[in-house]
Structure formats: structure tokens, C-alpha cells
Amino acid sequence: MKILLVHDTGFIAGGAEVLVAQLKKMLKSRGHTVAVFTMAHPANSFADYVYINRGSNNFSKAFLYTWNSFAKAAFQKVLIDFKPDIIHLHTITKMSSAILLDIKKIPIIMTVHNFGVIDPTFTQLPSLVAYGDRLGDYFVRTPNLRFWTEKFRHRFIRKHLRRVNQFLPVSHFLAQVMKEYQPRWPTQVVHPGIEVHNQQIPKLKPVVLCVGRFVKEKGFTYVLQAASLLIHKNIDLSVILVGDGPEK
């Protein structure tokens, strides 16, 4: 099977890129023909097809996020040259959802890595109210020009996303939020896989393993606080944090 993976970034910048790179490797090992379409960048390490963004200022970038003609034209050529049997979307914010308009009679699945595909303003979901302080003025504080631009852009994007046959949120919580906001979107939770190495963790006591980027929004602080409460209640356990980031 010929599988086209589509993602904004073609180098390792976070968990989504790790997933795309490992997925490409795994699918190829199983005999599939796999290609990755992404934006051109000097650091690209797993890209096969790229497009060049020519927006330089904030206004042009905002427009390209809504309708990226450069990505759309390059994607048309990829569809002709690669002829995929299935298209697997990941994050497509920078290339814009306009690329979906050129897909004819090809199944589309989309891994949903975050809330941006559902509600980029993070203001319409009751279950996301608690995130307001973390997201700050970019989303919630004042409905400024950027706020309304995002709302208009996303209304445009949602029409394009109707072409997706199956959404694959990476967590049950994310799936719950999707059903709250877009109940008609077909969803199936698929947790990101990892490469398992032969490393034995002693099972002398309960072990809590957390894997992710060390940034505030991942919530590692809450894990440590919860562990501290349990230890104070004489519950012996180990906490192992795996990752990297500014809060390391």
C-alpha cells in the first residue's frame, strides 16, 4: 500500500514529529511504500516531498494558514507523482486545510494531536475553561483582531475537514472534547506508540511512568504533587519522567 503522511514539520521538534518519523519507519518495515509531505526546512530529516512557504510577515502568514496556495500547488504534484492509496494527516496548520480540496476518492484519516483542530480559540468548550489562564491573552483575555481572525479561519477549516473519513485522537480526553464540539466527526482513539527497548524496571514497588515534553502544559507538576501526597500517606512508589524540554 502507498501511504502519504502529511505533517507541518519534517524534523524532530516534539512528540508529534517523533510519532510521524517512527510511523514512517514502522510502515516501511512492513512492506508499505511511505512518503512524508511537509514544509521545506534545513533541518528536515524524514521528509520526502516539500513545499516552500513564501510568507514573511504576520499578515501573509495568517493568510497562508487559511489558504496556502504554495502548499496546495505542491500537494497537487505529490498526488500525481506518488499516487497514494491512503492519506494520513497529522498537523496541517501551516500548509492549511486547502490541500484537502485536491483529494479525490482517496481515503483520509487524521491523527488529532491537540485541541487546535477542534477550537483554536479555546473559548467555546466548557471542558477547556480551566485552560484559560495557561493560554492567556492569545485565546481568552480579550476578543481582539487575532481572536476573530482565528474564529473565521477555523470556520473555514471545518468545512474542509468534512472530507476526513476518520479522526484518530491520541487520548480519550481529546476524543471526549471532540464529541462535545463536533459530535458528527467519526472518532477512534489511537494512542501513540513507542519503541520498546529491553530495559527492565525493578517491580519492587508501584511505578508511575510519564513520557512527554517537559513543558508546563503537559502537567508533569501535577504528577509530582500527586506522588508527594501518596508518599505522605505511606504509599511507597517510584515516579519516572522521560522526556526533554525547557522545564527539564
Strand, helix or coil for residue 190: coil
Pick 24 or 159 by higher pLDDT.
24
Kindly report which listed range (108-112, 131-135, 181-185, 215-219) carries the lowest average pLDDT score. Answer: 131-135
Q: How confident is the model at residue 215 (pLDDT cuts 50, 70, 90)?
A: confident
Spatial CB neighbours of 229, under 8 Å, sequence gap ≥ 6: none
Domain residue extents for the chain: 2-181, 197-248
pTM exceeding 0.75: yes
Q: What is the pLDDT of residues 2-48, one digit of tens each?
A: 999 999 999 999 889 999 999 999 999 999 999 999 999 999 999 99
Mean pLDDT, range 171-189, rounded to an integer: 89
| 38-95 confidence digits (pLDDT tens) | 999 999 999 999 999 876 666 676 678 788 999 999 999 999 999 999 999 999 988 9
- Across the chain, the runs of DSSP E, i.e. the strands, are 2-6, 33-39, 49-51, 86-89, 108-112, 166-169, 207-211, 238-242
Note whether 93 and 39 are within 8 A (CB).
no
Domain 2-181 sits in CATH 3.40.50.2000: yes
Distances (CA, A) of 187 to 92, 102, 111, 129, 174: 18, 23, 10, 23, 10
Cβ count near 92 (within 10 Å): 25
Q: Tell whether the model's pLDDT for residue 134 goes beyond 60.
A: no
Q: b/e string for 5-37 if b means 16 or more Cβ within 10 A?
A: bbbbbbeeeebbbebbbebbeebeeeeeebbbb
